[in-house]
Structure 1
């Protein structure tokens, strides 16, 4: 632990700042307003090649029915942006739409994606189930959402700390006011310690009705720990300034190696 904390650097994850070992390598993605967003480091030339190859594949794909597979392709909003709207797979219902956005900025390629629907092309509005939907074609709404994100997304080196409200994720930053329906999943991996990783999940939306300690004491988790030849090291509350938190430290045997790595689960409320 002394070695891990000897050279800490501040990183931005989600809407928070945390201190991590200086050589930790970051990976992960975000999901905001239903849009999954990932970033990948690449040159602008590589980005343009990737988009061109993707367009070639989508244009060459034919649905198994009489309806198109690719519905839209072209520049989105802002510089170095592009987008596609397609069926997803050749077997998907004609109403299914997948929106893919592309953007290159400051050495990173962004790829926001969202699944949506259009019951007007072809027209299925007389279907009894479709009649119950207030919105028969959600493509314009989702297009506006993704276009707005593409316009704002920007590349972010791992040590850059934004000064405005927004969401940080591996390789990127989206300026946006604080709200709900967002999550960030990030992993920090250490070069010199293969078994040591820091997995961080952040969201303002409550996913559980019970606390970590309540779940750790459940019959199901006790049985899973026993099946993994596991052992409880410690659990309890942790005092942090202005925050309620809980921790659960366990170890268990990995079937493939027989080793007993420890896993620390830490929850902030």
Structure 2
């Protein structure tokens, strides 16, 4: 454990920085990019539709091929109801120095095209960035009966401009880069802060290490979820659930570090399916005081459903204490 903790690196996640062993990397596969396994989402303060985001580092020729394959797939998709054809409604090529495209398409083959999906691709600094959001266009005459007395809506032009504005604030970055301007770190990319400052930001990642097998670190952060009570206020209820799951609370604590108030619960026990050690350590920051400039953060260490890790309880607690006390807001 001492050797592992000597080689540390700083990770930027959301608006936070955390020092962790250099062997830990974001756990995902290339298929996550095409299968819509999202890294983050963002939305305006009063918007019901979220814009989902995922990234993948790749060479530019591979990005061009990706776009070509996707457009061919969209062009060849047939809807169940012919009235909803074509499946791909529009293609908007990015301009103003942005490299990429936005596709307007049906939600799927069976849904009516009053609801459409805007699927955007951007290439920046060696990173492909994919965005997806929902929009509405019920202006076709065949939706008149459904609209009733409501006016027809075509939000697509407005939402395309919103996507373009967001893409202009997204830049690819290396994992070691720590941006100095206000904004939100997601894997392989950075979203600079909106001047209106009313966006809801949400990011969640899983980190794994070949040097610390069978342990997941999950880090999530958002700037809009505020709990009425902290985790230590709910500890009795949580302890009962843990007890029923063959576990116990090893440590419950609160501390202040780097001007941040944190509460933690460290639970140990046995796996549900076999009598092997199970660990779940949880840390909560700004759980009851979440705001735009002070987002919450939840860090979880877990080996649920995995074989026993190479480190014992004391080693894992030492690791936990070493990384959790480094968390700070990026100024």
What TM-score do you get using the length of structure 1 for normalisation?
0.89
Q: CA deviation at 1:238?
A: 1.9
Q: Deviations over 1:163-211 (max 9, x none)?
A: 2111111011111245441111122211111222221111111243332
SS at match of 1:213: helix
Deviates more, 1:74-83 or 1:240-249: 74-83
Could you tell me which of 158, 162, 186 is aligned with 1:141? 158
Q: CA deviation at 1:215?
A: 3.6
Deviates more, 1:196-205 or 1:223-232: 223-232
CA 1:73–1:130 in structure 2 vs 1: closer, same or farther (change >3 Å)? farther
| Number of positions where the alignment pairs a residue of Structure 1 with one of Structure 2 | 265
Q: Does 1:38 align with 2:54?
A: yes
As a proportion of its length, which structure holds more helix? Answer: 2
Q: CA deviation at 1:213?
A: 2.1
Unaligned runs of 5+ residues in structure 2 are 28-37, 44-49, 287-331
Q: Does 1:197 align with 2:213?
A: no
Q: Deviations over 1:226-251 (max 9, x none)?
A: 34312211112122242221001112
Equivalents in 2 of 1:129, 1:240: separation in Å? Answer: 57
Q: Does 1:160 align with 2:177?
A: yes
Equivalents in 1 of 2:224, 2:275: separation in Å? Answer: 37
Within-5 A mapping of 1:1-269? 2-27=2-27, 29-33=39-43, 34-65=50-81, 66-68=83-85, 69-77=87-95, 78-121=97-140, 124-127=143-146, 131=150, 136-177=153-194, 178-218=197-237, 221-222=238-239, 224-255=241-272, 258-269=275-286
CA 1:53–1:258 in structure 2 vs 1: closer, same or farther (change >3 Å)? farther
Deviates more, 1:9-18 or 1:51-60: 9-18
Deviates more, 1:121-130 or 1:207-216: 121-130
Q: CA deviation at 1:122?
A: 5.2
Residue of structure 1 in register with 2:34 after alignment? none
What TM-score do you get using the length of structure 2 for normalisation?
0.73
Query: Does structure 2 conserve the Cα–Cα contact (< 8 Å) formed by 1:26 and 1:158?
Result: no
Query: Does structure 2 conserve the Cα–Cα contact (< 8 Å) formed by 1:108 and 1:171?
Result: yes
CA root-mean-square deviation: 2.3
Q: CA deviation at 1:127?
A: 2.6
Unaligned runs of 5+ residues in structure 1 are none
Deviates more, 1:204-213 or 1:84-93: 204-213
Query: Does structure 1 conserve the Cα–Cα contact (< 8 Å) formed by 2:58 and 2:126?
Result: yes
Query: Does structure 1 conserve the Cα–Cα contact (< 8 Å) formed by 2:239 and 2:248?
Result: no
